[in-house]
Amino acid sequence: MNKKIATAAIIALVSCAALTSLGKLPPENAIKLEKTQAPAELKSGQLLPIVIPGNTTANAKIGGYQVFCYVDKVPPACKSLDWKMKKAAKDQWNTYQIQPHQWLKSGCSGNNFQFNCELDTTKWPEGDYNLTILLTVLVDGKDYYLPVEILFCITK
C-alpha cells in the first residue's frame, strides 16, 4: 500500500494543478489548511470521518463542499456503485460524483476552525482510493475552489 500511496500522492499534485481549471483558487492568505485527518485504512461499511483544520481571514469562510474522484483513482469495481459518472473529453479526466455539492449552514471560518464530514463506505469494494473534496471558499462574496486530496484503503 505504501508504494501505491506514494504514487497517489504524486498523482494528487498533478490532479491539484488540473483542478484549478474548475475555478479560481482563493486569494493567497485568505485560507490556510492544516494536515487533513482521515484514517489510512478502514473496512467497507464503516464511516470515513474527515477533518480538515485551518484558519481564514475575517472576510473568508468555507461555504460548501463536494466529493468526487477520478475514475482511475479508485478500484475498478466502483463502477457497480450508484456514483454518477461525469464524462470528460479525455477518459483520464472522467470522474465519479460521490457527494454532490452541499452548502454549509453557517460555514467554517476563523482561527482554528475544523471542517468535518463523513462518507458512508457501505458496498465500497476493497482497494486504494484517492478522493477529492472540493471546498467552496467564499471571500468577500465571491466563490473560489480549493481541492483537498484524501488517500485511504478499504480492506476486508
Q: What is the DSSP-derived secondary structure letter of residue 45? A: T
- pLDDT value at 7 more than 80: no
- Are 85 and 92 spatial neighbours (Cβ–Cβ below 8 Å)? no
**What is the Cα Rg of the chain in Å?**
15
User: Taking all residues of the chain, what is their mean pLDDT, rounded to a whole number?
Assistant: 88
What is the pTM assigned to this prediction?
0.82
The pLDDT value recorded for residue 111 is: 92
- Are 18 and 93 spatial neighbours (Cβ–Cβ below 8 Å)? yes
CATH of the domain at 13: 2.60.40.10
106 pLDDT tier (thresholds 50, 70, 90): confident
Count CA within 13 A, CB hemisphere, residue 63: 13
* Residue 65: closest CA among 118, 111, 113: 118
118 pLDDT tier (thresholds 50, 70, 90): very high
Count of structural domains, the chain: 1
The pLDDT value recorded for residue 151 is: 97
Express each pLDDT in 8-63 by its tens digit: 444 444 444 444 445 689 998 899 999 999 999 999 999 999 999 999 999 999 99
Range of the domain at 117: 2-155
